[in-house]
Structure 1
C-alpha cells in the first residue's frame, strides 16, 4: 500500500491512482450475471447444488453441524433402558459409541477454534483452560487462576452457537455463558464434581456426550465393582442431569474375569407435544432461483402469492441485484417439491426459473454464504480523454492490476438505496428509526421522478386523497410491497396505529431493509470521511480485525475488534486492509478518534443522538456490525474484445466499433460489483 494515492470525488474515494476509462454496464441484463457462492465455497448453479446438497443435512465433507450427525440405530431395539433386551445388547454397545465418537470427531474437524475466535483469543482460551485443568488434576479446593475470561461479543446467534459448541467440546471442563451477546468462559462445577468420581478421560467424554445430545446414543462408564462408588455416580447423574438422562447399572464380566458392573446413560424420551407434531409435519423444499430483471423480494412475493403461502415462508442467504441475471439458493416452507415443480411454468412467465428442487429439513438463514461470483460485460469502452494516443488495452491492464493489489473502498452500492426513486430507501429508514411511521409511509409512497406509469399514479392518488382502497385498485399486481401496505392501510386506517400495523404486515426482510439502508448510507459517508481526513495510514483509535482468518460461514463479525494504540500506529503493526468501520447499532463500539466523533455528530444531525436502534412498536432491533474499509476481488480475470491493435484505426467515438470488456471475479458477501467497477473505471456509474 506504500504507493497508493487516495483520490476523492464528490461522494466517494478511490484507493488507486490509475487513469481508468469510460463504458456502460447493464446495457442488457445478460451483461450482469451474479451467482451465489454457498458456505461450501461452491457456486449454486443447478448442477453443483444438486451434487453438493442431495443429502444436505447428513454428516459429509461439507461444513455441517454436529447435531445433525446421528448414529444409525437398530429400530427393533427397545425404547426403554430397563428393557431386558438392553442388557443382552450391552456387549454390543461399542458400535453405537463408535458411531457417536466418529460423529463428534467430524464435527470437531469443521469447527476449529482458532478459525472461529482468531489466534489471540484462542491462545488466551487455551491458557485459561490449562489453569483450570491443573486445578482439577491437583484436586485443589479452589481455582488457582482467573475465575472467568471473555471471548468477545458475537451479535449473530449462529456464531454464538458455534462458539458455545466448539469451546465445550474442546474443553469439557469449562462452561460458556452469554450476556448481551458477550460470551464468557468459566470453570464447570458439574465437571469438577464428576471428575472426583471417575477418570479425567471419562469425565471429558461424558460431557461431550451430554453436549452433543445425539438421539438414541448411549454413554458407558468403565466397569466398577464398588457398589457404593456406583451409587455415588448414580446420585450425581440424577441430581445434575436427571431431567435430561437416565442411568442404570448392568452386571457383566470385565477383562480381568471379575464380576463387576457398568453404568450406562441414555437420554430420556421427551414427551411429544402438539407443537412437536406440527413441527415434524413441516415440509421444507430447497431450490436454485434464477431470476432476470427482478428484485429478490419481488420474486418471493410473486411466488408466495401463487403458492398461497406467506413471503416469510421463503428463506435465503442474501438479496441479489435487480437488473441482472442472478442465481441463488432458497428454501420454502410448507410446499413439497412436487407442488413447486408444478408451478415452474407459471413462474417462468415472470422471469423466474427454479431448478435443483429437492427436500431439506431446515430453512436457510440470512448471511449463510461465502460471497458471490460475477460475470460482467462493460460495453463501449473509451478513454476518459479523447486523445487517440491513449492505449485502451494498457489502461485496462493497469486498472485491473491495481485493484488486485490495492482493492477498493468497500462502499454499499447504489442498489442498496434505490437508484430511481425520488425518495430513497435510507430516508424511509431514518423516519422509522425516529418512530415517525406516518412519515415513513408517505415517503414510501412518494412517486418517482417523471413517472407516469400506473404505480406512480396510484402512489400520487394515495398521497393526495389518503384513500387506500382506491389507491389499491390503481396499483399494479407486480407491486407486492405497495399492495400489501395499501391493503393493510385500508383495514387499519392512515393514523399512527394504522400505519404501524400496516408496516408490520410486511415480511421482516422487507421491513429491516429500509433501516439497514439508512445505516449503510452512514457507513458510506464515514468511509469517505475516514479516508479524506486520515488518509491511507492506520492511526491511533482506528478499529481493526485482530487477524485475517475467516469465521464459520465466512462471517467476519466472529473475529475480535481491537482499538489501535498510539504505539501500534507508530510501529505500523496494522495495515489499511485490516481497518473496519461500524455499521450503527446497539452493540458496536465506535473508533476512538475523530471518526468516532464524526459518527456522534452525524447521528445527532439526524436527531438520533439518543437512539438505541431498537424500535419496539415496529419490532426492529439493529445490533450493528463491522465492515472492512477495503474489499478485494478474488480470481479476477478480464478480456478486451473488439479492440484494434492499431491506435490509428480505433475510433472511440463510434459506439458501433467501441470495444467491450468482460470481467469475472468473486467478492465476499455484502460487497458490490458496481463499486468494484467504480474503482476499476474511475467513474461513478
Structure 2
C-alpha cells in the first residue's frame, strides 16, 4: 500500500481531512506484510501483553485513557462533562458532592460501622455485575431510567405523567437474577426490584422518598445500601441529632418499614467540638442474617470465564471471534474484549470468553492456528472485559521504500523524516478515527449501514450488509446470490460456518421474511455489540468531519464556545489546547456554542437525523454520545533507519539514506482509541 490508502466507494477517507502540522513529510509503503505492523495491547497496569507473561509496565503520560467507543451510560453519570469556554472564564467542573465521615463515632470491636455520608466497602462490585449481566443497551436504559426518577423527584413530578417501572426482560438463571437484584439496589438505592415470571422489574423505591423527608438524601442513600448489603456484625449510624421528637420519628419509620430486619437504639456521642449529642444506631437482627446465603456458595455457582491473550494475523477482531465461537460452540456475544484491532497486522489483545473452561480453549489451539490465530496466557477470571479497559496500545511499524514528496527537493530525506517525527512528537496529531473503523476499501462501508439503522431503514441496512466485494471467493459469491435471489435459505447453505453474523441474520430472515419487520427481527438476532458497531461507525465518521471543520475554521487556537475538560479529568500539566473535546453525536451530549456546533446540526440534518434519532427502540439501540479529545500525543517514541538487503535488515549508520533500500522502524505507544495509521498520516503527510 504505497503512498495511497485504499479508498472505499463512498468517499469516507482521510484524504479530505485537514492535518495538524505543516511540515513537508515523505512517502513510503506501510503494511507491505503483516510483520511490518505489530500491535500489542497495554493492560490497565501498564504491562505489554505478549506470547508469554505480561512485560514491564510502561507509562503513557498523564492524560487519562478515553473509552474505545460511546460510553455505556449517559454523560451525567460516567463521562467527564465538558465545560463551555466563555471568553476568558472556564466554569467550574460538575462533580458529585463528596462527604467526609462524621468523627467521634467509634465502631465496636469486631464490627463494621457505616456512618451516614460514607458508602460500604466494595462499591465498585455492583458496576461490574451490571456490566457482565446486562446487555449494553439495557444497561444504558436502566441508567437513564434511574436519572429520570431522581430528576422527577427533585422537581416534584406527577407520577401519572411518567413511566413508573422499567423492565430488564426475562432473566432465566436464578443466580443471575439474585445478583442483578443486589447490584441494582446497591448502585441505585432509590430504586427497588421485583421478579414477575422470571422478568425483573425496576421501580422507584417510595421508602427512599419517604425517608428523605426525615433525614438527608445522603443518609437515606447510604442507609438503604447498608440494608441491602446485609454485612454480618455491621452497624449504621445516622448523623447526630439533638431533636428528641425528630429522633422518635426516625425510630418509628425504620421500625415500621424494616423492623423485621433491623433494630434501632439511640446512643450518646461526642462531636468534633467535644459536645455531647445523640445518634441513632441501626444493627441487623441475628435471625435475619441467618437467612442470607453464604458468599462462598454464591461464588462456586458463578458462570465460568476464561481469559487469554489472542494473537491474530490478517484478521479483523470480529472475524476472529466468529471463528472462535464456531469452534467452541458458543455465541459471539460470549466473548468480550477491550477494543477492535487492525486487520492487516499482527496483533496481541486480551479477551475473555464466557462458558468455556481453560482446558476446552487449549484443545482448539492447533485448529485455530490454521486460521491465523494463537492463544496464550490462558487462565480463569471472574468476569468479562469492557471496551476501553486498557491503558493503550504499543506499535512496532516498518515503513519501507522511503522517498521524498514528489515536489520536495529542498532537503535531505533523512532530515525530512527526522523533522516530521519530531514535529508530531511535539505538536501531536488530530485524533481522527482510522479508515479501518469504516471498512476501508470496501464497496459499502460500515458507517452507511449505521446511518440506515439510525433512520430505521431496516431493509436497506440488510441489503448494504450483504453487498459483495469485487472478489469471487465463496463468501462474496453467497452475498451476490442473496441480493439477486432474496433466497435466505439457499444463501445459508453457501456460507462457510465461521460467518456467524451472516448466518444468524439469514436464519432470522428465512423465518420472518425480507420486509421491514422481518429485517428488524433479523438485526435483533445478532449480538448487540455488533449492531451498535455500525452506529458507532457513523458517529465516528461525523466526528472526523467535525474535527476537520474545526481545524479548517479555527486552526489549533482555542475559541469561545469550545468544549473543554476540567483539569481534574486531564492532568495538571495539560494546556487548554489539550483539553478541547468534540462530541461523538448522541442524544445526551451538548454541542460547542460556536460555528462547530452549528455545523453539527446542519450535518445531521443533511442525513435526516435529529437528536432523538439516536434512540432506535426497535433494535434496542441507545446512543447517548460522549466526548473525544481533538488532539493526541505519541508516548515512548523511538525510531531507527534501516537498510533492506538480501541478508536481512540492518541499522543504517550513514547520514545519507539509499532511497531504493531505505526503511524506517517506528516504535511508540498510543492511548486507547487512537489510530497508529492516523498518526503516521500526520507524520508522512500522505494517505497510507
1:238 lines up with 2:271 in the alignment? no
1:41 lines up with 2:56 in the alignment? no
- The 8 Å contact of residues 194 and 236 in structure 1, kept in 2 or not, is answered as no
Q: Aligned with 1:309: secondary structure?
A: coil
Give the corresponding residue for 1:379: 400
Give the corresponding residue for 2:3: none
Give the number of the structure whose residues are more often helix, by fraction. Answer: 1
Distance 1:383 1:51 in 2: 37
After superposition, give the CA deviation of every residue in 1:211-255 in whole Å (9 maximum; x if it has no partner).
893743523879xxxxx9999986564356557x5348899xxxx
TM-score (norm 2): 0.67
* Closer, same or farther: CA 264–601 of 1 in aligned 2, 3 Å: closer
- Equivalent runs, 1:509-524 vs 2, <5 Å: 509-524=529-544
* Closer, same or farther: CA 408–175 of 1 in aligned 2, 3 Å: same
Give the corresponding residue for 1:680: 683
Distance 1:280 1:645 in 2: 62
* Closer, same or farther: CA 321–212 of 1 in aligned 2, 3 Å: farther
Give the corresponding residue for 2:385: 364
Q: Aligned with 1:94: secondary structure?
A: coil
Measured after TM superposition, the shift of residue 634 of structure 1 is 1.4
472-481 or 8-17: bigger deviation: 8-17
Measured after TM superposition, the shift of residue 625 of structure 1 is 0.9
Q: Aligned with 2:301: secondary structure?
A: helix
Measured after TM superposition, the shift of residue 370 of structure 1 is 2.3
Give the corresponding residue for 2:109: 94
Give the corresponding residue for 2:513: 493
Give the corresponding residue for 1:470: 490
- The 8 Å contact of residues 378 and 662 in structure 1, kept in 2 or not, is answered as yes
Distance 1:206 1:496 in 2: 48
- The 8 Å contact of residues 191 and 207 in structure 1, kept in 2 or not, is answered as no
Distance 2:564 2:212 in 1: 37
After superposition, give the CA deviation of every residue in 1:255-291 in whole Å (9 maximum; x if it has no partner).
xxxxxx9974477466679xx9899342222222222
Aligned match for 1:333, one of 348, 354, 363? 354
1:455 lines up with 2:475 in the alignment? yes
* Closer, same or farther: CA 632–107 of 1 in aligned 2, 3 Å: farther
Measured after TM superposition, the shift of residue 589 of structure 1 is 0.8
Larger Rg: 1
* Closer, same or farther: CA 319–44 of 1 in aligned 2, 3 Å: same
After superposition, give the CA deviation of every residue in 1:73-123 in whole Å (9 maximum; x if it has no partner).
xxxxxxxxxxxxxxxxxxx973454999xx98987999xxxxxxxxxxxxx
Give the corresponding residue for 1:578: 579
- The 8 Å contact of residues 344 and 354 in structure 1, kept in 2 or not, is answered as yes
Aligned length in residues:
524
After superposition, give the CA deviation of every residue in 1:329-373 in whole Å (9 maximum; x if it has no partner).
222212222222222232222222222222222222222222222
Give the corresponding residue for 1:616: 617
- The 8 Å contact of residues 544 and 579 in structure 1, kept in 2 or not, is answered as yes
- The 8 Å contact of residues 33 and 374 in structure 1, kept in 2 or not, is answered as yes
Distance 1:27 1:673 in 2: 15
Which one scores higher on RCO, CA 8 angstroms, separation ≥ 6? 2
- The 8 Å contact of residues 50 and 356 in structure 1, kept in 2 or not, is answered as no
Gaps of 5+ in 2: 1-12, 58-106, 126-153, 156-182, 192-207, 239-243, 268-279, 644-650
Q: Aligned with 2:405: secondary structure?
A: coil
Give the corresponding residue for 2:272: none
Distance 1:9 1:413 in 2: 8
Give the corresponding residue for 1:24: 29
Give the corresponding residue for 2:271: none
Q: Aligned with 2:667: secondary structure?
A: strand
- Equivalent runs, 1:114-153 vs 2, <5 Å: none
- The 8 Å contact of residues 313 and 343 in structure 2, kept in 1 or not, is answered as yes
Aligned match for 1:437, one of 455, 458, 466? 458
* Closer, same or farther: CA 631–220 of 1 in aligned 2, 3 Å: closer
- Equivalent runs, 1:645-684 vs 2, <5 Å: 650-652=657-659, 654=660, 657=661, 659-684=662-687
- Equivalent runs, 1:211-290 vs 2, <5 Å: 213=229, 215-219=231-235, 235=252, 237-239=254-256, 242=259, 245-247=261-263, 264-265=283-284, 268=289, 280-290=301-311
- The 8 Å contact of residues 485 and 503 in structure 1, kept in 2 or not, is answered as yes
Aligned match for 1:483, one of 496, 499, 503? 503
Give the corresponding residue for 1:85: none
What CA RMSD, in Å, does the superposition of the two structures yield over aligned residues? 4.4
- The 8 Å contact of residues 389 and 647 in structure 1, kept in 2 or not, is answered as no
TM-score (norm 1): 0.67
Distance 1:664 1:647 in 2: 21
* Closer, same or farther: CA 240–396 of 1 in aligned 2, 3 Å: farther
* Closer, same or farther: CA 220–281 of 1 in aligned 2, 3 Å: closer
Give the corresponding residue for 1:629: 630
